[in-house]
């Protein structure tokens, strides 16, 4: 089964990040929480300390088919500022899958990977989107190998969309039943 690398930088939105990890692991998907900081320890935008599974330098990305970018500020800008992250986003968008939520889709737009795709983001972050790309607010958009979501309120549907793309509807239904959704 494909692996998923969820990137975490200081200032990420707690629910957007950890919901993806939780749902994917419940669905039987190998999901690694990857710190882009110097250590495995990161701090959310709500000042919650989180210890990641690995650091970016410890990961062999050939073992992963999905790259997930949580939003939150300044987490999304911290991801964008890391050239290693930008290189990974370009590579995964060209050859595998990328998912981004809330503010993080602006990274995809600035790196040129939303060209020809429909996407969403937290209101105000669509300024860098290509013309005609923005698909609206309060939603999850699956377009080819790119999945985007508009904000924290869409974290669970976003995680389930990633799970469905990787493991199918049976896995999604199993998780939904297990969490009483």
Return the active site residues.
102
- Which residue is listed with tokens 């969309």? 161
Strand partners, 141: 148
**60 Cβ partners below 8 Å, 6+ apart?**
none
Q: Taking Cα atoms as reference points, which of 132, 152, 69, 52 lies closest to residue 104? A: 69
Task: Read off the DSSP letter of residue 94.
Answer: H
Angle (CA) 105 108 109, round 5°: 90
Residue 100 has φ and ψ, to the nearest 5°, of -145, 145
Determine how many CB atoms are found less than 10 A away from the CB of residue 167. 18
**122 Cβ partners below 8 Å, 6+ apart?**
71, 102, 103, 150, 151
End-to-end CA distance of the chain: 24
């Amino acid at each position: 089964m494909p692996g998923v690398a969820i990137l975490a930088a200081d200032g990420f939105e707690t629910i957007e990040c950890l919901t993806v990890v939780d749902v994917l692991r419940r669905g039987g998907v190998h999901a690694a929480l990857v710190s882009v900081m110097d250590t495995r320890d990161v701090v959310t935008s709500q000042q919650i300390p989180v210890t990641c599974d690995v650091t970016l330098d410890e990961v062999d990305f050939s073992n992963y088919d999905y790259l997930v970018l949580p939003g939150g500020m300044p987490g999304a800008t911290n991801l964008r500022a890391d050239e290693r992250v930008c290189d990974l986003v370009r590579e995964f968008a060209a050859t595998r899958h990328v998912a981004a939520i809330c503010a993080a889709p602006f990274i995809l737009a600035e790196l040129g990977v939303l060209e020809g795709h429909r996407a969403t983001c937290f209101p105000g972050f669509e300024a860098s989107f290509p013309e005609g790309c923005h698909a609206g607010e309060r939603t999850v958009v699956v377009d080819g190998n790119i999945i985007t979501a508009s904000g924290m309120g869409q974290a669970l549907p976003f995680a389930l969309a990633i799970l469905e793309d990787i493991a199918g509807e049976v896995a999604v239904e199993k998780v939904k039943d297990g969490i009483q959704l």
